[in-house]
Chains A and B, each alone.
Chain A
């Protein structure tokens, strides 16, 4: 490949650089900028005409001027070199080693943009993953190949929850090659370190690849970090047959980097200044999760985002929810009550649950039991609100039962230890135990035979 070199920088604005009088430059080509002091930086062609190329800089433009820099167009897109040695390694957000080990010797180099999976080739995710967390396994299950985000807020323990999932996740009755790819965008060193230490402690670090762009790393680099991670995951999953869990944190920082770039390009902004193509852009990341027919591996994706102002209608959680197959929502008032994990099951959802549970997968009563728990908790919550306005005195006997159910559901079912790994049967039995508070005729969502078989109800209660 012929490398084209220019010194004709014409404009520098924010993360953008306009290079004049270029020829033979292609759209999305990788660019290397060599400063007069020998330092190298990277960019990518965002727009190209017969005369000029608009380049997005991944690093700060500091010390870059219209004179003195050598601009090289490298004749290829942004790539990640991969081999099996990629497991157990730590890279920066651009795929360069961040640990002390030498760069890996790539078996091949892959374009990080990836290509869209043909919907015809997709295998529908149906395998239940036991996370050991009741609020997830009981009511919002995770399946292999699913993309299930965690919507969190600043200061909530999403990191602990994600680490616990990574540590405990397993497919029942199977021993398989399992790995984690972790991408950090703009989180602090301490937060990233929490994961690293946790993975080291559990021994999972051997089977983990980390891409870290931390809070003080270049902002625009964040745009490529999740793509690096997913390229690595695709390689491990679909070329090496591994089951890969990808954790992306924090997608809010990612979207902000995108907004910064969009503003610099003076694009017409959509909601709250985010670009109109945010949906499509996020989809190009999230849709890389999945399974392929007749292939061994899988990519299960857990993106984590902090909702600005705990607002679920903010464009980042909103558009994420429109793409992913459900969402796990952490709620501040549960956290304040001391409940860990503070998962609010009502607005949480797993769209693939129906296929993942039931006889031969988890247990025959799973689906109906979860519907019943939902309904009862929802009713309890409604009564709790009513009681706040009217006082508990106005509540009927039945209302009080639901209210108590809601309280205990939070305290016993949702709440559990950070290292507590509950089997799915334990979770389900716990659900039945709590339902004992509710009289049988109220249990409209479960079959009588299940009530008899799993409910362990005292016949006198009825």
Chain B
């Protein structure tokens, strides 16, 4: 029997081969003389349909196809952080060094440096009983991240030997004697199939927010550590900027950013920006905690389909060490389109808008891999994987299949709206259309860690924004004069909430990130203004004097006050507010 099959058909990224011995679903195969990488998607009799992760131009029927008998997998070991990979974990910097500025095909490269020596520090002694997930030892992967080497899945036994000091990823670091008396040699390098979720001990309820420093998110629509969120919106509404902001500022230990079918220049932007940004805790470059997966829109479409699995598997690997990991996928729509394209070529029965019927279940599987968990191993490490996906609906139409299927599985919805983007209201997340289903889980945290009245302030602010929406309708119908003075103040306060609180400029050095404490103070001062005005109205102060209070300008500029000074400055502003209002009351003859 021949060791290889033969190409019998080529249609774009789909190749059909006949006679691959023992072909199995989802095994990786090498296609053609150039040994392009592909994956078996369908088997009919002796024919296997293969999605090829590289350009297929120039391939011919009768060229050989050879199976590797391995599913599509990633390499896991120290040396992943700070890298930029294509959709199937090939390092783009090495591809560039090898092939120049433009990507060519048939490149075989290890995902991590196998020759690099790491300083391995054991955490277990010889003779110790270990189970899968136990920490064998650590290496300092980057200045800010300690890489924990775990007992691989399926291994249980006693440490017979363990090394210390300089090791390469393929070197044996320990020998474990299993109960059956077998001796297992373990190195730091593992492989894991990307389409398979990595196991953990137990899923927990999320109860801690993933702090993003973005006011509209943290205050109004927070996501939990281990939570899921989606950001749908038409082009140019700010999906990528939000995801970049989150990658920069969230209080996670590890960030995985998957640029899936999007722009090359955005990747260049991240590569240029992130090394310059400093981790607030250590002052080291943020790139040291970041992994980039970049399969841009002009790179092969099948590898785009794989890229989000590559991303999430790397994310799970770091989660298993006990870290809080955040994964961004920009954009899941491009992934869904890749799925649709392959499905079309396979001539599967199309579902809605040509997407395959299994689109919703694939999306659900993807988001299900997020969560707050207890890791395998005896030390009960807690960890989380939060997943945030952008969705790019055609024409901004939220009724389309990808948005709808996503909304059924994620728990936070940040609705980006084109009208807000046109008004340069950024982030263009609509306060009335978005939601977070984590509020109940998180309110304990906010009350404990920020302020007891946090939820109350949030509720009041939200109510004002809702009221503004109704009042605007009235104004549209019968004019501003129809409103009571109280309503006018409500409108003014809501405007202040929108402009001075919700709007946050990503490119301003200070406004780009707001600590949770500062968010609280900002919200409070706006609501103080509201309360003071209502009191003043009762005491006969005229509306115009209240809407043109000089302190409003100070309130508007709070966002630009550095975190360190904010408490002191805020004190002053609150005093100024009180003083100005008192003065007005006194002038009208009232008593304060």
Residues of A within 8 A of B (CB): 23-29, 46-50, 77, 111, 113-125, 145, 238, 267-271, 276-277, 279-280, 283-284, 287-288, 290, 292, 295, 313-315, 318-319, 321-323, 325-327, 346-347, 349, 351-352, 354, 367, 371, 374-375, 378, 386, 389-390, 394, 396, 441, 444
B445 at the interface (CB under 8 A from A): no
* Contact in complex: B476, A386 (CB < 8 Å): yes
In whole angstroms, what is the CA distance A445 to B304 when docked? 40
In whole angstroms, what is the CA distance A47 to B57 when docked? 10
**Residues of chain A with a CB closer than 8 A to B166's CB:** none
* Contact in complex: A321, B235 (CB < 8 Å): yes
* Contact in complex: B422, A116 (CB < 8 Å): no
* Contact in complex: B95, A49 (CB < 8 Å): no
Q: How far is the CB of B480 from chain A (nearest CB, A)?
A: 7
Q: List 21 A-B contacts (CB under 8 A).
A: A23-B61, A28-B56, A49-B10, A50-B62, A113-B55, A115-B55, A115-B102, A116-B299, A119-B259, A120-B93, A121-B101, A122-B264, A125-B265, A283-B261, A287-B264, A288-B298, A318-B394, A347-B422, A371-B424, A394-B481, A396-B480
* Contact in complex: B272, A124 (CB < 8 Å): yes
Contact with A along B319-353 (1 / 0, CB 8 A): 00000000000000010010011001000001001
Considering only CB atoms, which chain B residue lies closest to A113 in the complex? Answer: B57
**Residues of chain A with a CB closer than 8 A to B58's CB:** 26-29, 77
Considering only CB atoms, which chain B residue lies closest to A111 in the complex? Answer: B57
Partner of B104, one of A50, A115, A268, A269: A115
B165 at the interface (CB under 8 A from A): no
* Contact in complex: B9, A120 (CB < 8 Å): no
* Contact in complex: A47, B395 (CB < 8 Å): no
Task: For the complex, count residues of B whose C-beta is within 8 A of A.
Answer: 71
**Residues of chain B with a CB closer than 8 A to A290's CB:** 264-265
Q: How far is the CB of B298 from chain A (nearest CB, A)?
A: 4
* Contact in complex: B301, A118 (CB < 8 Å): no
* Contact in complex: A116, B102 (CB < 8 Å): yes
Contact with A along B490-514 (1 / 0, CB 8 A): 0000000001000000010000000
In whole angstroms, what is the CA distance A367 to B507 when docked? 10
In whole angstroms, what is the CA distance A347 to B445 when docked? 40
Residues of B within 8 A of A (CB): 8-12, 16, 55-62, 84, 92-93, 95-96, 99-104, 234-236, 259, 261, 263-265, 267-269, 271-272, 294, 296-299, 301, 334, 337, 340-341, 344, 350, 353-354, 392, 394-397, 418, 421-424, 476, 479-481, 499, 507, 548, 553, 556
**Residues of chain A with a CB closer than 8 A to B99's CB:** 118
* Contact in complex: A287, B297 (CB < 8 Å): yes
* Contact in complex: B96, A268 (CB < 8 Å): no
Task: Given A277-B341, A280-B297, A375-B423, answer yes or no on A119-B264 (Cβ-Cβ < 8 Å).
Answer: yes
Q: Main secondary structure on chain B at its contact with chain A? A: mixed
Q: How far is the CB of A411 from chain B (nearest CB, A)?
A: 21
In whole angstroms, what is the CA distance A118 to B271 when docked? 12
Q: How far is the CB of B241 from chain A (nearest CB, A)?
A: 9
In whole angstroms, what is the CA distance A48 to B397 when docked? 37
* Contact in complex: B265, A26 (CB < 8 Å): no
Partner of A276, one of B93, B95, B354: B354
* Contact in complex: B102, A279 (CB < 8 Å): no
In whole angstroms, what is the CA distance A120 to B117 when docked? 25
Considering only CB atoms, which chain B residue lies closest to A391 in the complex? Answer: B479
* Contact in complex: B298, A117 (CB < 8 Å): yes
**Residues of chain B with a CB closer than 8 A to A26's CB:** 10, 57-60
**Residues of chain B with a CB closer than 8 A to A386's CB:** 476
Task: Given A276-B341, A276-B354, answer yes or no on A118-B103 (Cβ-Cβ < 8 Å).
Answer: yes
Q: How far is the CB of B274 from chain A (nearest CB, A)?
A: 12
* Contact in complex: A394, B480 (CB < 8 Å): yes
* Contact in complex: A124, B268 (CB < 8 Å): yes
Considering only CB atoms, which chain A residue lies closest to B345 in the complex? Answer: A267
* Contact in complex: B297, A351 (CB < 8 Å): no
In whole angstroms, what is the CA distance A333 to B394 when docked? 25
Task: Given A122-B265, A374-B424, answer yes or no on A267-B344 (Cβ-Cβ < 8 Å).
Answer: yes
Considering only CB atoms, which chain A residue lies closest to B236 in the complex? Answer: A349
Q: How far is the CB of B295 from chain A (nearest CB, A)?
A: 9
In whole angstroms, what is the CA distance A79 to B410 when docked? 47
Q: How far is the CB of A345 from chain B (nearest CB, A)?
A: 9
**Residues of chain B with a CB closer than 8 A to A271's CB:** 353, 394-395
Considering only CB atoms, which chain A residue lies closest to B63 in the complex? Answer: A26
Q: How far is the CB of B337 from chain A (nearest CB, A)?
A: 6
Partner of A287, one of B236, B296, B422: B296
* Contact in complex: A292, B101 (CB < 8 Å): yes
**Residues of chain A with a CB closer than 8 A to B57's CB:** 26-28, 77, 111, 113
In whole angstroms, what is the CA distance A271 to B99 when docked? 38
In whole angstroms, what is the CA distance A40 to B454 when docked? 77
In whole angstroms, what is the CA distance A145 to B269 when docked? 13
Considering only CB atoms, which chain B residue lies closest to A24 in the complex? Answer: B60
Q: How far is the CB of B221 from chain A (nearest CB, A)?
A: 24
* Contact in complex: B60, A25 (CB < 8 Å): yes
In whole angstroms, what is the CA distance A284 to B103 when docked? 13
In whole angstroms, what is the CA distance A351 to B397 when docked? 22
Q: How far is the CB of B382 from chain A (nearest CB, A)?
A: 35
